[in-house]
Amino acid sequence: MVYPDRLLPRPNYRLISDIEALDSFFLQRGTPDTDIIDPITHTIKPKYISFQTGHLHDLSTNLIGIFLPEDRFWRIIGENKEYFTRELWPVGEAIEAPSYPDDFEHVDTLGAIYLPINKLNGLSIPYDKEGQDGFTAICKVLHTPVRSNFWHFSLRWFNEEGDALHQKGSWKKRMLTSARAALIEFGAISEPEVQKIDIPLYT
Amino acid sequence: MLTITPDLPPTGTEGLEYFFQQSPEPEARGELFVFNTTEYLQAGSFSTDIAHQDILRQFQRRYDQLTLLFKKRWEQGQSAFSGISHKEVFKRSVSLAVFILLTNPEKISVDVTPDATVFFTALYAEENAYVEAHFAPDEETEVVFNIYRKGVPVLAHGGEFDPAVNQYIQYFAKK
């Protein structure tokens, strides 16, 4: 079994900073199975939206385009999992493909949620200002490639003090709820149309 | 929205106390009842007006369905609540269920997440509301909610339980 070469970063690739150019694209969020929809509300079950543990601590997604919906079935495992999936790819570094069976497996029972970038990037959540901590939380879509997947993107939440990930207690809770709420509000399980990504965006 | 009157069934907290009094090992059994309709009806503490009774029965039915779902999800997800008082989780979750139901959502569901939270999704005619109670060992329970109106976030709040619930109820009471 061979890991798809098109998912790997290449030394001539660069970070995609122009997220607005991807407005019509969708992000895919993998889920442990396909039982994603709550039968009562017909919305996504909240427990399927959880933050990464480990180094990145954010909401991990894949940009659908060169990364295809079925690419979620490639799952990195083993001793090199940290290296391939939890450390960011140092831009310019040449990568050796994960090898089978030590580094990856193919699990075709995983589910997925699809998220429109134009709904999430810049989404502003107005926390009430009558309390002592009035502020707005803003969602940003960031390109955060890892060694096994150049098309890895993260959802992060920012306030006036910066990235909420680096702030204490209550902010993380607000961020978690806002992320879950936004993904339930805008997420869908139907596969979006796969669009072509302009090469100059990332080379 | 349902009018909050003195003759509505007891609140979640009172009901939970009732339950704990009746059950030798409630937390171990994971059972949950906020109020007992039969006993409540027999107590005669509510209006005999038929329409009013219908409203109460409807409320009770929705409440029973929601708590049954909570119980099911709790059984699947309680391992995430290590070191957290189950009594606190039940008490807060039951209270939230009651308060959200009082705002009369068209649909409501609940989930127990791997992050030691209980998450309610409440869908109204024009709004979708997401309410999450965050639990942690030795920390005050916090409630965070986000309300969307036709896909646009219109109100969000995070903080202690009572002020958060107040804000939530006030938003829907004004409508």
pLDDT digits over B86-137, tens only?
999 999 999 999 999 999 999 999 999 988 999 999 999 999 999 999 999 9
Rounded percentage of chain A residues whose pLDDT exceeds 70: 93
Q: Is residue A54 part of a domain?
A: yes
Q: Give the list of residues 6+ apart from residue A41 with CB closer than 8 angstroms, or none.
A: B107, B108, B109, B121, B123
B29 pLDDT tier (thresholds 50, 70, 90): very low
| pLDDT at residue B131 in the model | 98
Top-confidence residue, B152 or B7 = B152
| pLDDT at residue A2 in the model | 96
Q: B71 touching A, CB under 8 A?
A: no
Q: Is residue A198 part of a domain?
A: no
| pLDDT at residue A75 in the model | 94
Q: Is residue A202 part of a domain?
A: no
Q: Is residue A200 part of a domain?
A: no
Mutation site for A-interface testing, chosen from B96, B113, B135, B140 by largest number of A Cβ within 10 Å = B113
B8 pLDDT tier (thresholds 50, 70, 90): very low
Task: Give the mean pLDDT of A27-34.
Answer: 93
| pLDDT at residue A51 in the model | 65
Q: Is residue A152 part of a domain?
A: yes
- pLDDT at residue A88 above 90? yes
A145 pLDDT tier (thresholds 50, 70, 90): very high
| pLDDT at residue B34 in the model | 46
Q: Report the predicted TM-score, pTM, of the whole model to 2 decimal places.
A: 0.83
Q: A47 touching B, CB under 8 A?
A: yes
Residues 143-172 of A with CB under 8 A from B: 169-170
Residue A134 burial (CB count, 10 A): 10
Please state, rounded to an integer, the average pLDDT across all residues of chain B. 80
Q: Is residue A201 part of a domain?
A: no
- pLDDT at residue B156 above 80? yes
Flag if B154 and A119 touch (Cβ within 8 Å): no
Residues of A in contact with B113 (CB under 8 A): 46-47, 50, 180
| pLDDT at residue A47 in the model | 87
Instruction: Give the count of domains, chain A.
Output: 1
Q: Which residues pair with A48 in a beta bridge?
A: none
Q: A59 touching B, CB under 8 A?
A: no
Reduce the secondary structure of chain A to three states and give it as a string.
CCCCHHHCCCCCCCCCCCHHHHCCCEEEEEECCCCCECCCCCCECHHHCCCCCCCCCCEEEEEECCECHHHHHEEECCCCHHHHHHCECCCCCCCCCCCCCCCEEECCCCEEEEEEHHHHCCCEEEECCCCCCCEEEEEEEEECCECCECCEEEEEEEECCEEHHHCCCHHHHHHHHHHHHHHHHHCECCCCCCCCCCHHHCC
Q: B155 touching A, CB under 8 A?
A: yes
Angle between helices B86-102 and B50-77 (to 10 degrees): 140
Flag if B123 and A38 touch (Cβ within 8 Å): no
Top-confidence residue, B151 or A174 = B151
Residues of A in contact with B158 (CB under 8 A): 127, 170, 173-174, 177
Indicate the range of A38-42, A114-118, A162-166 predicted with least confidence: A162-166
Using CB atoms, pick whichever of B108, B132, B153 lies closest to residue A125: B153
Residue A86, min C-alpha distance to chain B (Å): 20
A54 pLDDT tier (thresholds 50, 70, 90): very low
Q: Is residue A147 part of a domain?
A: yes
Which domain covers residue A38, as residue numbers?
Answer: 5-192
